């Protein structure tokens, strides 16, 4: 049994990725790890902890939804909150679990908008040593 790592933040794009990941998990009989990178931006100390707790609560709310959906589909799933920004969190978790795929949603942005807003799929394509599945958002 292998592992599929899903990047999930509760957005529409992420929901599309969740469905695709469930399909793949059933196909390969893999375990699904729902990942949320919970490191808030800004590296200097002030109120960092409080900020991270706020982000963690957000992440728990979002990932709980995905976990429930996966279990309702009969897929073996777990949640991993990783204290890094989204892209490195996925890359490191996938490497650590020797994952089959990383599955992420795209926000459906053009390259310029993606570059300005910080596109996780773009970063994964450059950083990841695990195959990456990018799922477009359905309208």
Partner 1 sequence: MEAHAKTAHYADAGSEPGEKGLKKDAIGFLDGLIIGIASTAPAYSLAAVLAIVVVLVGVQAPAVMLASFVPMFLIASAFFYLNRADPDCGTNFSWITRAIGPSAGWVGGWAVCTTGIIVVGSLAQVAVYYSFDLLGLDYLRDSRLWETVFTIGVIGLMTLICVLGTELSAMVQRVMILAQVGALLLFAAVALIKVAGGDAPAGSIDPELSWFSPFAVDSASILVLGLLSGVFIYWGWESAVNLNEETEDSTTAPGLAAVVSTVVLLVTYVATTTAVVAFAGLDRVAEYEDDPGLFGAIAPDVLGNGLDWLVVLAIITSALSSTQTTILPGSRTALSMARQGAFPAMLGRVHPRFLTPHVSTIVTGALSAVWFAILFNVSENFLFDSLTALSLMIAFYYALTGIACTIYYRRELTKSVKNFLFIGLGPTVGAGILAYLFVKAIDEYRQTDQSYTGNELFGIAIPVVLGVGLLILGVVLMLTWRATGHESFFGRKREVVDPDVAAGRKAGVAAVPEEAV
- In the complex, the residues that contact partner 1 under the rule CB under 8 A are 9-11, 33, 38-58, 60, 62, 78-84, 93, 96, 116-118
Strand partners, 105: 135
- CA 82 to CA 30: how far, in whole Å? 21
Among 72, 88, 99, 90, CA closest to 8: 90
The least distance separating partner 1 from the CB of residue 92, rounded to whole angstroms, comes to 8
With left for phi above 0 and alpha for psi between -120 and 50, is residue 91 left, alpha or beta?
alpha
Q: Which is nearer to partner 1, 116 or 125 (CB)?
A: 116
Q: Which is nearer to partner 1, 37 or 132 (CB)?
A: 37
Among 67, 65, 18, 9, CA closest to 38: 9
Q: Which is nearer to partner 1, 29 or 96 (CB)?
A: 96
The least distance separating partner 1 from the CB of residue 124, rounded to whole angstroms, comes to 16
Q: Which is nearer to partner 1, 41 or 111 (CB)?
A: 41
The least distance separating partner 1 from the CB of residue 134, rounded to whole angstroms, comes to 16
């Amino acid at each position: 049994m292998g592992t599929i790592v899903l990047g999930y933040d509760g957005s529409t794009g992420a929901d599309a990725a969740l469905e695709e990941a469930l399909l793949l998990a059933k196909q390969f009989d893999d375990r699904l790890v729902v990942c949320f990178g919970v490191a808030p931006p800004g590296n200097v100390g002030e109120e960092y902890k409080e900020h991270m707790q706020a982000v963690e609560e957000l992440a728990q709310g979002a990932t709980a939804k995905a976990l429930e959906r996966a279990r309702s589909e009969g897929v073996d799933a777990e949640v991993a909150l990783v204290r890094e920004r989204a892209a490195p969190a996925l890359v490191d978790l996938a490497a650590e679990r020797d994952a089959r795929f990383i599955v992420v949603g795209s926000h459906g942005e053009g390259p310029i908008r993606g570059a300005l807003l910080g596109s996780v799929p773009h970063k994964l394509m450059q950083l990841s040593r695990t195959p990456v599945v990018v799922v477009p958002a359905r309208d």
